[in-house]
Structure 1
Amino acid sequence: MKGRIFTAAVVAATLAAVTASVPARAADAPTIEELVEGAKKEGRLVVLLLQPTQQHNREIVMEAFKSRFGLDIDIEWSPMHPTTLMSRLNAESPSGRFSADIGQGSVDDLWPSVEKGYVARMDWPATFGSMLESIDQAAGGVPPEMSGTVLSMFDLVYGLVWNTDFVEEADLPRSFADLADESWNQRIALNSYHIAPVDYLSYEIGAEPTIDLVGKLLDNNPVLKAGSGAVGAAVSAGEAAVGTGMAYATDLAIDRGEPVRFRPFTDYTPVLGMKVFVPAYAPNPNAARLFAAWFTTEGMALVGESEHLGQLGNPNSVVGRELSRQIEEAGSKVVSVSSIAQFGELAETRKVIDKMIADR
């Protein structure tokens, strides 16, 4: 009897935990009309997104959003790097308050905050499916444990960046492993944050081969810069001939007339899905949910091409289709996260890499 009572209690507790961890049922999802009325009462929205990077594109997005839902609210747009944002989210949220409404990050960066309940959950398709036809796609593509917490914004595609004034395309390294060749000694720039995106190769080849490759790259005396954006800037400025960088950032640099180019490596192409999220303690949750759903569907379509942002799996993404073509042409394998378990493995790999950097 005691065994059955204990088992029933365990089952009940398990069901309660599962219920708390999944998005609300469709019947409990707020309507768009309810969110609009709530947003009007809030009167404000604080956005911390890095993209769009160009101010005039942000203004296009803000005005289009307000027009779409008939809102006359104040929008404060204060771009914040996801790494800084994650620290702020984890520092403020334990108090039950947060100072902004919309943020962005990759799933591996966001997962610890999702686990702690610092990211709001919602059944996005239940509320927005009748208005925003691509909301299902925006809400998908994440490990099931993160369902209902984030929406897809764009794919961060990594590859080789080079300075056309310093090296001919025919002489470039073709694979990640080629960067370890001694001919590139003191000629490469790498990200000092875990040597990203090389760390993401652990998703595909495992920790030990990734750590071994990082060791060989560090033996080549690279210029280390704080962030992939800084790596691209270093290559553009001539501090290094080549580096690992981001497709969209390189295209923006080309728009500015800088002597840089991008292409995928022939072995692997790390792809980091950049996500939009609403903090659990957002001060303006109604406006935040409206903006998150609209921006990741209709809003990005307004500025994605001029910002060189796209999604590889989205047939309507001009930039995504072009990047997919380049990756296929290079014969490269896309590397991205597929399970929550990989986050822990990545964290352990990064600890080793960070120690290697510190010990240089």
Structure 2
Amino acid sequence: MRLTPSLLIAASVLALSACAMTEDRGPQGIFAPGDPARSVMAAVETVLTTDPEVDADDPALWADPRDPARAVMFGTDKSDGLYVHNMDGSVRQFLPSGPVNNVDLRVGFPTSVGERVLVAASNDAPGANGVNLYLFDPATLTTADYGFLPTAYEPYGFCMGRRGEAFYLIVTTKAGTVHQMSVADGPNGPVIGPERVLTLASQLEGCVVHDAADTLYVGEEDVGVWRFDFDPSGPSTATEIARVDRIRIRDDVEGLTIMRDRGVEYLIVSSQGDSTYPVYRIEGQRHIYVGRFAIVDGPTIDGVTSTDGLDAFSGPIGPFPEGAVAFHDDIDSPSPGQQNFKIVDWRVIREALGL
């Protein structure tokens, strides 16, 4: 595990990344025309010494609002299960849940033993499709299995949302469907409510819910990013937010996340085809493109390519006083065939894009 000491390098990156530029480079080093991406560097990466062949995919960040130094990152392994990492990248816990893909969480989930953080991940095990649910205890920083929700369809992407006191699971599929269902704690474990189904034309994966705006964003891999009303009784029509144009976004559209910073909200997209991250400022119904960035090699941590999932945490978390963004990295150098997760200080991204 290689960790930037005390974020000293991150501070130097802040100064360098404001003026640094990178070409529009895909995962095979192919250069393509496009809107130039600003260069940033990661401050933390994970190395799983217990498994030399991790098939990483999607992270989710959590921090204690009363003590942000108490923080963890969940990360899926599409072959073996769910990892829980400390914020220095080390492994805190592993849950052998099988081929889990996308992971998300929501805090304040009421249970018979008190409020917990509800964590869930899609699982596409052959013959056993569904969603794994977990309960994370903020007091002990431990995670426990909570149950498995089988589905009649193959789950692919996944995210969670909240409307008032109601918690929701959202599953996307390769067939272009979005499945939204409520979840609550029952006497024998999780209880699932009625299912709402939304439809787009082709394969989906990444999604994110903007709880405060009651909005669901979904990535259609070869087409673009769409917005739905998250109200279960609301309209089912989709509004286009951004399109795969091979200038700002190069297919596939993968992970989506939302960062809240100094009263402004940003939608961040994983443009997997060129290993960049377009950023859009959310202004009500409008989404204003503000630029994009790429994660390049730093002094001790390599860059990031072909990201599937990503997750932003708004506010202090671990060693990051103003927020952080975690990314799946398809190839971790210098470990051939290894994948992992990288974390970038939000201040570095903000400075690079001039936000």
The TM-score, its normalising length taken from structure 1, stands at 0.25
Q: Which has the larger radius of gyration?
A: 1
Structure number having the greater helix percentage:
1
Structure number having the greater strand percentage:
2
The TM-score, its normalising length taken from structure 2, stands at 0.25
